[in-house]
Amino acid sequence: MVGGGQGAFIGDVHRMAARLDGMIELVCGAFSSNPRKSKASGKALFLDPKRVYKDYREMMLKESQLDKNHRMDFVSIVTPNHVHFEPAQLALESGFHVVCDKPVTFSYEQSIELKKLAKKNKKLFAITHNYTGYPMIKEAKAMIAHGELGNIRRAIVEYPQGWLSTRLESSGQKQASWRTDPKKSGKAGCMGDIGTHAENLLEYVTGHQIKKMCADLNTFVRGRALDDDGAILLELDNKVKGILFATQIAVGEENNIRLRVYGTKGSLDWSHEDPNSLLVRWLDKPKEIRRTGVGQQYLTTQHAIRVPAGHPEGFIEAFANVYKNFALSLNDIHQGNKPNPVHLDFPTIADGVRGMRFIDKVIESNKSKTKWTKF
């Protein structure tokens, strides 16, 4: 693991997610740019002190020198955005598979580079767009892919948060500080941090890709350098129309990503506040509430469920589904097989590239006086 030392938020999530299914063991790490902090973090995680490294360069080097059965199988990169590219590049070149947090890199060009490297080195590269891990999201995707909703006409994805509605970064809060700093976060603030999740969820579920957009970004909190709010009109392929809305200044909103999709036969409504329900509206039948694990569901959905119906699956379980499928695919490969398509249902570097492209285009569209900007 690269990053995720004491005090970090997402490192712990990655570790819980990786642990959950008993298929992945944390064996080494470079948990902080501060070697002492890295050591302390490794100790708290009961790691062999020899495999707690002072930085990721050392880790890649030393681990690649271990014999095949003892070295790590893959690297998880959970650092801020500006420290994604180099460790990922080094990992791929040193022969390791990669799991990386989103957005995958600091710039679009870097993401293209990683995509090439992963292909060249034949390595798996997962991105933790974790919302795609919820069972009812997988059910939604499958329902649309199987034509249950007819042709899709319109989609709305929104992601309101409120935690940055004041200038939290000036208090020294770590999560706020790097996310609002263009040197660490990249070109976009809100749109990079959570807008990319919304974009990924929209494209994953509908199976349609954004073709053009009209963005209006805002920075509501004075003194902040990056956007903290934005609304975007979208056109996807097949003339599907969309709205993407993301904000971090919506006072009192927690983490309420929601997706609605309207087709010619039916429509879907999923919200992170009730992630185990999927509201389905039909043209000619009563509304339905489909629930995790209730009744006959698609194979990818079943595969994403751990407990019987009525036992809520939460955020960590959804996150863990990225790791689980990544690990199962890795296992398929280790056993000399082509990965099972069900196992390959996790976000990859290709999704990462689209996310970076999305950021570039949102910034471009926001500056443009012309209505539509091509994706």
Q: 354: buried, middle or exposed (CB in 10 Å: 19+, 13-18, 0-12)?
A: buried
**Cα–Cα distance, 352 to 146 (Å, whole number):** 26
Residue with smaller CB distance to a second copy, 52 or 88 = 52
Near a second copy by CB under 8 A: residue from 13, 140, 191, 349:
13
R_g of the chain computed on alpha carbons: 20
- Contact status: 49 vs a second copy (CB under 8 A): no
When the beta carbons of 58 and 254 are compared against a second copy, the nearer one is: 254
Nearest to 195 by CA among 253, 129, 239, 137: 129
Q: Which is nearer to a second copy, 308 or 336 (CB)?
A: 308
User: Binding of a second copy at residue 148 (CB under 8 A)?
Assistant: no
Selected binder of a second copy within 81, 132, 165, 206 (CB under 8 A): 165
Is residue 265 involved in binding a second copy (CB under 8 A)? yes
Q: According to CB under 8 A, which one of 243, 333, 342, 350 is a site residue for a second copy?
A: 243
Asked if residue 139 binds a second copy (CB under 8 A), the reply is no
162: contact with a second copy by CB under 8 A: yes
* Distance (Å, whole) CA 281 – CA 285: 8
For a second copy, the closer CB: 57 or 167: 167
Q: Which CA distances in Å does 157 have to 100, 358, 359, 361?
A: 24, 14, 16, 17
Pairing relationship of beta strands 152-160 and 241-247 according to DSSP bridges: parallel
Q: Which residues, 6 or more positions from 191, have their beta carbon under 8 angstroms from its beta carbon? A: 217, 227, 230, 246, 358, 359, 362, 363
Dihedral sign, Cα of residue 296, residue 278, residue 349, residue 199: positive
Which lies closer to a second copy via its Cβ, residue 195 or residue 353? 195
338 lies in the site for a second copy, by CB under 8 A: no
Least Cβ distance, residue 41 to a second copy (angstroms): 12
Residues in region 266-325 near a second copy by CB under 8 A: 266-267, 272-275, 280-291, 294-295, 306-317
Q: What is the largest distance, in Å, between two alpha-carbon atoms of the chain?
A: 64
Stretch that binds a second copy, among 69-77, 140-148, 255-263, 336-344 (CB under 8 A): 255-263
Count of residues that bind a second copy according to CB under 8 A: 82
Site string for a second copy, 57-86 (x = CB under 8 A): ------------------------------
